[in-house]
Structure 1
Amino acid sequence: MVSRRGVLAGAGLLMASPVLAQVPGQRLRGRIVALEGETLRIAPREGGELAVRLNAETTFGALRRVTVAELAPGTRLGVVAEPFGDGLRAVAVTVLPASATREFQSGWDLTPTSSMNNGAVAAVVQRADTHELSLSINGRDIPVRIDAATAIVQPIPAARSDLVAGRAVLVSGGPGEGGFVAQRVTVEKDGVAPPT
């Protein structure tokens, strides 16, 4: 399970200290308050406000919508899911590059019961109002329900200029010089937001 301990340090980093204990692992989720030079101010989902440092190594990405029809057998996926019956219900499905061959299941920080499930599509079956995906993970086929609420996306490039106040962001990073330093910022673009 992803650690729930705070990973931020430094008085200048936090503008609202109650958030510290609630920042999960190395990911921050929320909405952009402002971009001020090398500092991205974020209103995290836990409340308050955080300052995140950007640097020359920070990369920027966004997401595009994908249809179930694009999920062909062999497609590599990262599936954020909740328990459902004898399988999972997908909250968010991310199409990964073919080179992403590591298959695993682990806890995830979207909700207390969510998990990350990386594997390859074995099959997709259409049901009355849903689809059932068979996700192959380390030789096991895991049934995954995909419904109308499931976000199906694929990473696309973005730029620093996409960091606009009010947009949702998912920031991956960790402690560094000057506070929490972003390694990657995934930002809402064209109406497609990262799960927050």
Structure 2
Amino acid sequence: MPIRRSTFTRPLVAMAMVAASSLYAIAQQPPSPSRVRGTIESVDGDVLSVKSRSGEDVKLHMTPDMRLVGISKISLSDIKVGSFIGTTTVPGPDGIPTAVEVHVFPEEMRGTGEGSRPYDLRPNSTMTNATVAESVVGNDGHALLVKYKDGEKKVSVPSETPVVTYVPADKSDLKAGAKVIAFTKKLPNGSFETNRISIGRDGLTPPM
């Protein structure tokens, strides 16, 4: 009986070691990006070549139903009570989230991604899409109270914070040198595709 138990145990131990090794290898692989921020280097048919902000060369296959929107600069004063906005915030020194960018959605995009969630722009950053309920203008920016379906948040918007909005764009805007944010998906063959791209207008780098 001891010999038989050993005979069965050895393969199980070997299988467990292989499984553990595989899990370790998977854990060491970098996570697939969901967003690529960078500069267009070239466009070849449906393949977009982008130099990412971190210096990587990324090729993206654009899907036939890809959505393209432009990002244009506006003024901090364009943020009004009732505006539906998105803002990336980081913890402020006084405990109030501080905006590092704000994008004002046009009316037809109201409700897009409503809520608050972790974001990948900066360490410890959060993306909040919500309606401006209160806006107090100060000497060095705005203090906003924004409300969304699951809660509310106070946000400090310094005067130097970039503020942008969405404008129409088409594939003719995809030119070398343009700054983009591409929302990506990794395919089984290891390549990446994108079905949504935000492109800066007039040389603007999308701040979100």
Q: TM-score, normalised by structure 2?
A: 0.76
Once the two structures are superposed, residues 87-118 of structure 1 have per-residue CA deviations (whole angstroms, 9 ceiling, x without a partner) of 21111111124431664211101012111011
Matched, 1:122 2:133: yes
Q: Is the 8 A contact 1:43 1:50 kept in 2?
A: yes
Give ranges in structure 2 of 5+ residues lacking alignment. Answer: 1-28
**Residues 102 and 61 (structure 1 numbering): CA distance in 2 closer, same or farther, change over 3 Å?**
closer
Q: Which amino acid aligns with 1:108?
A: Y
Using the alignment, how far apart are the partners of 1:35 and 1:177 within structure 2? Answer: 23
Q: Percent identity?
A: 27
Give ranges in structure 1 of 5+ residues lacking alignment. Answer: 1-19
Q: Is the 8 A contact 1:170 1:195 kept in 2?
A: no
**Which residue of 2 is the match for residue 167 of structure 1?**
178
Q: Aligned to 2:89, which of 77, 81, 85?
A: 81
For residues 3-22 of structure 1, the aligned pairs below 5 Å read 21=30
Aligned length: 176
Larger Rg: 2
Using the alignment, how far apart are the partners of 1:72 and 1:171 within structure 2? Answer: 28
Q: TM-score, normalised by structure 1?
A: 0.80
**SS of aligned partner of 2:30:** helix
Cα RMSD of the aligned pairs, angstroms, is 2.2
Q: Is the 8 A contact 2:71 2:165 kept in 1?
A: yes
**Between 133-142 and 26-35, the greater mean CA deviation after superposition:** 133-142
Using the alignment, how far apart are the partners of 1:114 and 1:127 within structure 2? Answer: 24
Q: Is the 8 A contact 1:76 1:95 kept in 2?
A: yes
Using the alignment, how far apart are the partners of 1:44 and 1:73 within structure 2? Answer: 36
**Which residue of 2 is the match for residue 195 of structure 1?**
207
